[in-house]
């Protein structure tokens, strides 16, 4: 009897998480449909200008591409920063570090993952831009709010994700593989880079895609550090705006519920949801397809 | 399902009814309390009009409520024009306005037999600024301002003036919900319905003036604008740009040029009060309070106080109405 109650309670918890997900998607869809009733879907999907309320009032242009452009810049930029650092950290932790160093490094990485994103954002604004980017590339070249600082900040946030998942993947490479390579006369570096990393590739790839989803969904750091200037550009030293930052800006503004501007939030939210969902599906597929089973 | 909802509706109705009864009883108690107190005023004041002036009216109302809790003041934001339409229709007591009343509005009021008094309560000005590090910009004409802020406008400084260097313009300005944004567009770009230009969208927009100041200070190639009061409080690190409406002689924003109206990006703010309403003690006291308190409150709201004489004159204009009450 008692067992039954517990099982039912656990089942209810599982159902709740599904219900919440379905509920969120339903809300997104409902208000998105409302948005497209007043605003053209074609313009949204092909427009190169995001200008809600342009000129004041209810008008404006709702083309999503500048925001997707900004989001992808931050996503790719942060991977460029986070991937090498993360994978190299993972190689060190898994192959080289002695247990004592590992005992210090791993928890430190987890602390990095636990720093509130708003603080990382201010770190980017107050340190990365003025003390790192500007001295190297010039004050006039680097905007106060710029995509590069946002990318580095988000790169730091995803570094622990990449490092920790990749390290798990590398450590689960069986010792027999390493021993065989050593037996053939390989050096430690050769073993690490030519045996362990390729064997752990599916895990590393999954970590990158997971990290990318995280980067795409990151809000606070990019709102603070990357500017709020939706434009089509590939210049990392200029201000951009991501999907998430645009949502945050509108929410903190005075857009009244039910207006086109307000409903546009949900269209952006759905876009974001589609991007991250796609990434997660790809990640699951990669893990399944490239997983090497050693037994 | 529908049965259950109906039952819920019935319950909700009952709750509401009970709440109303309770509120009504409470109201009666309040009224009794104040009449025994003696000096408390009561009544209703309807204020409507400019959304630019509304923050002043709201701040004043909030303070006034502390002194006269039984006077019910509502502040609407129909816009200056919309406000006058209602005012001259006799629907409101006070009309907030970000410009003087127009001739046709005067006639509309006359036609309805509505007499009014005009009080200047302050000035709204916006400062056009760049970073203190900027070496080349000193004055910009209205044409050049439009070139910077219009849709598809200049992206580098030498497109604004060939004498300027070939550097990107980093633009920081209020977001589209801001009255300052509307004012700038109206004044510099013109009314879009009347052949005016559309403002650009690829600039760094923020409703937080601190963000704008931070961005503008930080780079020599910056350009932006915000309320004058904010510039006054953040002069370090910023450089004001002189503005020339006609010709090329620029005027820099300061309290004198704004109060005199010489600075082109400024405008006076008014309240218009119906004379019949002024005779009511609650309205008379409210306007008196308004003129007395605004000089202290107005800078916090982001505007400039009118010269002290304006408020003094306003108070003397008010005197005969207070005496009759």
B-interface mutation test, from A145, A146, A150, A220, most B Cβ less than 10 A away: A145
Overall pTM > 0.80 = no
Chain segment B254-282, per-residue pLDDT in tens: 888 888 888 999 888 999 999 999 999 99
- Which DSSP helix (H) or strand (E) runs through A268? helix A260-290
Question: Residue A51's beta-bridge partner residues?
Answer: A61
* pLDDT value for A179: 93
As given in the structure block, the two tokens for residue A53 are 């309320």
* pLDDT value for B5: 44
Inter-CA distances, B91 with A286, B54, B85, B107, B181, Å = 69, 17, 9, 16, 30
Report which listed range, B25-34, B76-85, B116-125, is most confident.
Answer: B116-125
User: Where would I find the H helices in chain B?
Assistant: 2-37, 54-67, 80-87, 103-111, 142-149, 179-184, 209-218, 228-233, 255-260, 275-278, 281-301, 308-324
Average pLDDT over residues A50-75: 85
Radius of gyration, CA atoms only, chain A: 23
DSSP B188: I
Q: What is the mean pLDDT of chain A?
A: 90
d(CA B317, CA B271): 13
Report whether pLDDT(A65) > 70: yes
Average pLDDT over residues A203-228: 91
Report whether pLDDT(A228) > 90: no
The predicted complex's ipTM stands at 0.72
CA A203 to chain centroid? 17
Chain segment A238-291, per-residue pLDDT in tens: 999 999 999 988 887 666 677 788 888 899 999 999 999 998 888 888 878 766
Residue-by-residue DSSP string for A162-214: HHHHHHHHHHTS-HHHHHHHHHTT--HHHIIIIIIHHHTHHHHHHHHHHHHHH
Determine how many CB atoms are found less than 10 A away from the CB of residue B42.
15
Report whether pLDDT(A74) > 80: yes
Closest by CA position to A165, among listed A196, A123, A210, A130: A210
In three-state secondary structure terms, A292 is coil
Report whether pLDDT(B10) > 80: no
d(CA A201, CA A165): 11
Chain segment A4-37, per-residue pLDDT in tens: 999 999 999 999 999 999 999 999 999 899 899 8
Of all residues in chain B, the one with the smallest CA distance to A62 is B201
∠ CA(A154), CA(A159), CA(A163), 5° rounding? 165
Report whether pLDDT(B297) > 80: yes
d(CA B247, CA A187): 78
Report whether pLDDT(B14) > 60: no
User: B161: pLDDT confidence band, cut at 50, 70 and 90?
Assistant: very high
B165 touches chain A (CB under 8 A): no
Higher pLDDT, B17 or B278: B278
* pLDDT value for A292: 63
As given in the structure block, the two tokens for residue A161 are 């994700």
∠ CA(A221), CA(B231), CA(B223), 5° rounding? 65
Residues of B in contact with A145 (CB under 8 A): 204, 215
User: B30: pLDDT confidence band, cut at 50, 70 and 90?
Assistant: very low
Report whether pLDDT(A129) > 60: yes
Asked whether the beta carbons of residue B170 and residue A56 sit closer than 8 angstroms, the reply is no
Report whether pLDDT(B172) > 70: yes
Report whether pLDDT(A204) > 60: yes
User: B6: pLDDT confidence band, cut at 50, 70 and 90?
Assistant: very low
Least confident window among A279-288, B88-97, B131-140: A279-288
Asked whether the beta carbons of residue B219 and residue A139 sit closer than 8 angstroms, the reply is yes
First to last CA, chain B: 60
Measure CB to CB from residue A254 to each of B133, B177, B192 and give the nearest one: B177
DSSP A236: T
For B211, phi then psi, to 5°, come to -60, -40
Least confident window among A263-272, B80-89, B177-186: B177-186
d(CA B266, CA B308): 18
A-interface mutation test, from B133, B135, B201, most A Cβ less than 10 A away: B201
Average pLDDT over residues A189-201: 92
Q: Note whether B201 and A230 are within 8 A (CB).
A: yes
Residues of B in contact with A60 (CB under 8 A): 176, 201
Average pLDDT over residues B76-92: 86
* pLDDT value for B38: 41
How many pairs of residues across A and B have Cβ atoms under 8 Å apart? 75
* pLDDT value for A275: 92
Least confident window among A177-186, A209-218, B146-155, B230-239: B230-239
Report whether pLDDT(B117) > 90: yes
Q: Which residues neighbour B104 within 8 Å (Cβ) at sequence distance 6 or greater?
A: none
Burial annotation A65-96 (CB, 10 A radius, 16+ → b, else e): bbbbbbbbbbbebbbebbbebbbebbbbbbbe
Residues of B in contact with A55 (CB under 8 A): 176, 185, 192, 198-199
* pLDDT value for A254: 62
Closest by CA position to B160, among listed B175, B139, B181: B139
d(CA B189, CA B207): 21
d(CA B141, CA A242): 34
Cβ under 8 Å to A: B residues 214-233: 214-215, 217-222
User: B288: pLDDT confidence band, cut at 50, 70 and 90?
Assistant: very high
Report whether pLDDT(B140) > 50: yes
């Amino acid at each position: 009897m008692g067992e039954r109650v517990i099982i039912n309670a656990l089942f209810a918890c599982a159902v709740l998480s599904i219900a919440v997900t379905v509920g969120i998607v339903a809300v997104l869809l409902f208000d998105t449909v409302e948005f497209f009733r007043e605003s053209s879907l074609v313009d949204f999907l092909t427009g190169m200008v995001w200008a809600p309320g342009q000129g004041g009032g209810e008008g404006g242009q709702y083309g999503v591409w500048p925001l997707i452009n900004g989001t992808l810049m931050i996503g790719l930029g942060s991977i460029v920063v986070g991937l090498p650092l993360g994978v190299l950290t993972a190689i060190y932790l898994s192959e080289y570090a002695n247990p004592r160093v590992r005992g210090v490094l791993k928890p430190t990485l987890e602390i990095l993952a636990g720093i509130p994103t708003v603080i990382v954002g201010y770190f980017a604004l107050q340190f990365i831009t003025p003390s790192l980017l500007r001295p190297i590339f010039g004050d006039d070249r680097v905007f106060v709010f710029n995509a590069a600082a946002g990318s580095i900040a988000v790169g730091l946030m995803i570094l622990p994700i990449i490092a920790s998942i990749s390290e798990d993947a590398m450590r689960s490479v069986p010792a027999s593989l390493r021993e065989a390579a050593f037996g053939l006369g390989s050096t430690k570096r050769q073993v690490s880079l030519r045996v362990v990393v390729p064997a752990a590739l599916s895990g590393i790839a999954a970590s990158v895609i997971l990290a990318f989803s995280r980067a795409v969904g990151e809000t606070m750091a990019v709102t603070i550090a990357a500017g709020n200037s939706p434009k089509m550009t590939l210049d990392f030293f200029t201000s951009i705006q991501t999907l998430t930052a645009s949502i945050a800006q509108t929410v903190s503004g005075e857009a009244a519920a039910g207006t086109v501007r307000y409903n546009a939030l949900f269209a952006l939210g759905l876009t974001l949801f589609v991007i991250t969902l796609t990434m997660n599906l790809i990640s699951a597929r990669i893990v399944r397809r490239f997983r090497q089973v050693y037994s | 399902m529908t049965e259950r909802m109906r039952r819920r509706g019935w319950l909700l109705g009952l709750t509401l009814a009970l709440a109303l009864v309770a509120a009504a009883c409470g109201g009666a108690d309040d009224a009794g309390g104040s009449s025994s107190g003696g000096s408390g005023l009561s009544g209703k004041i309807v204020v409507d009009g400019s959304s630019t002036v509304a923050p002043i009216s709201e701040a004043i109302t909030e303070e006034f409520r502390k002194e006269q809790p039984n006077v019910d003041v509502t502040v609407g934001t129909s816009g200056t024009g919309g406000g006058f339409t209602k005012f001259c229709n006799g629907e409101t007591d006070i009309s907030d306005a970000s410009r003087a009343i127009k001739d046709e509005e005067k006639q509309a009021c006359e036609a309805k037999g509505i007499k009014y008094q005009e009080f200047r309560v302050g000035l709204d000005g916006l400062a056009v600024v760049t970073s203190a590090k900027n070496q080349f910009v000193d004055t910009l004409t209205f044409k050049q301002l439009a070139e910077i802020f219009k849709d598809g406008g200049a992206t580098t400084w030498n497109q604004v003036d060939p004498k300027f260097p070939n550097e990107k313009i980093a633009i920081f300005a209020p977001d589209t919900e801001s009255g300052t944004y509307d004012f700038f567009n109206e004044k510099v770009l013109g009314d879009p319905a009347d052949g005016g230009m559309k403002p650009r969208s690829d600039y760094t927009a923020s409703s937080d003036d601190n963000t704008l100041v931070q961005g503008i200070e930080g780079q020599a190639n910056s350009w932006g604008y915000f309320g004058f009061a904010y510039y006054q409080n953040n002069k370090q690190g910023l450089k004001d740009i002189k503005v020339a409406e006609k010709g090329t002689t620029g005027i820099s924003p300061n309290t004198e040029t704004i109060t005199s109206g010489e600075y082109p990006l400024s405008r006076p703010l008014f309240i218009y009060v119906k004379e019949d309403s002024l005779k009511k003690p609650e309205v008379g006291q409210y306007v008196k309070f308004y003129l007395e308190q605004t000089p202290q409150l107005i800078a916090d709201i982001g505007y400039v106080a009118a010269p002290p004489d304006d408020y003094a004159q306003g108070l003397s204009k008010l005197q005969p109405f207070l005496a009759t009450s």
